Structure 1
Amino acid sequence: MASRVLVRLFLTDSGSLTAADLVGQLRVSPASVSKAVGYLEELDVVRRERDPRRRRERYVVDDDVWLRAWTRDTRSTANWADTARRGVAVVGADTPAGVRLDRMGDFFATLSADMASGPAGVEDALTLLAALMHAGAPADAGRLAAGLGWPAERVTEALRHAEPQRLTPAQRAALTR
């Protein structure tokens, strides 16, 4: 139901509808709409706005909804990393649970850093990987910057997204044999 409400809001030119509009267009109960809108509000993708002309609430989807959702998810992912790392301190880094929590913390920290840099950072890292594969040999940051026509800082940031910490110790060992 939440998906149907969100899609209906996106398909309107105004990006907003009342509960009555949604009930009529979706042919569902007011309770279904209310529950769906509540869920979408929790995700920060829909907001309520008072319609002074009709004295009703309108449900609105903003043009920057995806940026807000991305930002919210980035904070949540960073919290997962922090919580896992605190768990390592509680159970001990040398225990099986501590090792699992440490890997989880690393995963979510990397994911959070990638999300914080936005899709462009990941895209640049993929472009850099393609350039390295095309070159067929190791290349330093200066050569990569010149070949791609990028400033050196952009190459450095893209390289940061491709750090060896993305690999598990077993993967690093297998690749260096």
Structure 2
Amino acid sequence: MVDGGLPRMAARVLARLYTAESRSLTAAELVSALRVSPASVSKAIGYLEQVGMLHREPDPRRRLQHYVMADDVWQKAWQISSSTNANWAETAAEGVELFGAESPAGRRLSLMADFFRQLADDMSGGPGFAVLDDALTILAAYREAGRVVEVDRLAAVLDWPVDRVKTALEIAAAARLSAEQRAALAAAEE
């Protein structure tokens, strides 16, 4: 994980959570298992929370926080890497504007921007991946709620514009219809 770019302590915390018997650990348990200071664990947890790789859950019986690894931790890591590559592309493109496209630095930065833009697109499944990811988020929200939630309410909860929610719902509906059509075709072929 460290070779892949994760900070060393964050990698240790993530590895410990991943290999724990229970689905969560407290900060004290992490400190004890890793034999490090509470500050080290706190900093690592802060980083992992910021990038969405784990979250806190309160203990209903005691005043403790349990740290739980996200179910889709590796997908999150992939998305973070893709986003980082997109940021590199954007920064390089700004450099091209700053130095000029015909300057030696501008030409190098242009190649860098093209490379990282293509890498980010490849990793994210292409430019349309964000819309598909939004559709999956909507479906997960419905599953979590156990019912269909009004568009306005869903937009407020997700802190998204209503149009973004509507587009995601359309994509989810289209994917569902496609799956149903494929199932019908498969049944007809049998």
Task: Report the TM-score range of the alignment, normalised by the length of the smaller protein.
Answer: 0.5 to 0.7
Match of 2:20 in 1: 12
Q: Which amino acid aligns with 2:63?
A: R
Unaligned stretches of 5+ residues in structure 1: 119-177
Q: Which amino acid aligns with 1:97?
A: A
State which of 105, 130, 133 in structure 2 corresponds to 1:97: 105
Whose radius of gyration is greater, 1 or 2? Answer: 1
Which whole-Å CA distance do the structure 1 matches of 2:64 and 2:82 have between them? Answer: 33
Match of 2:51 in 1: 43
The alpha carbon displacement at 1:37 in A equals: 1.4
The alpha carbon displacement at 1:52 in A equals: 2.0
Aligned ranges 1:25-36 → 2 under 5 Å: 25-36=33-44
Tell me the alpha carbon deviations over residues 94-145 of structure 1, each in whole angstroms, 9 at most, x when there is no partner. 0011001101101101111110129xxxxxxxxxxxxxxxxxxxxxxxxxxx
Which whole-Å CA distance do the structure 1 matches of 2:80 and 2:109 have between them? Answer: 23
State which of 49, 60, 77 in structure 1 corresponds to 2:85: 77
Match of 1:174 in 2: none
Q: Which amino acid aligns with 2:10?
A: A
User: TM-score normalized by structure 1?
Assistant: 0.60
Between 1:70-79 and 1:89-98, the stretch displaced more is 70-79
SS at match of 2:57: strand
Please tell me the root mean square deviation across aligned C-alpha atoms, in Å. Answer: 1.8
State which of 68, 71, 78 in structure 2 corresponds to 1:63: 71
Which whole-Å CA distance do the structure 2 matches of 1:96 and 1:25 have between them? Answer: 52
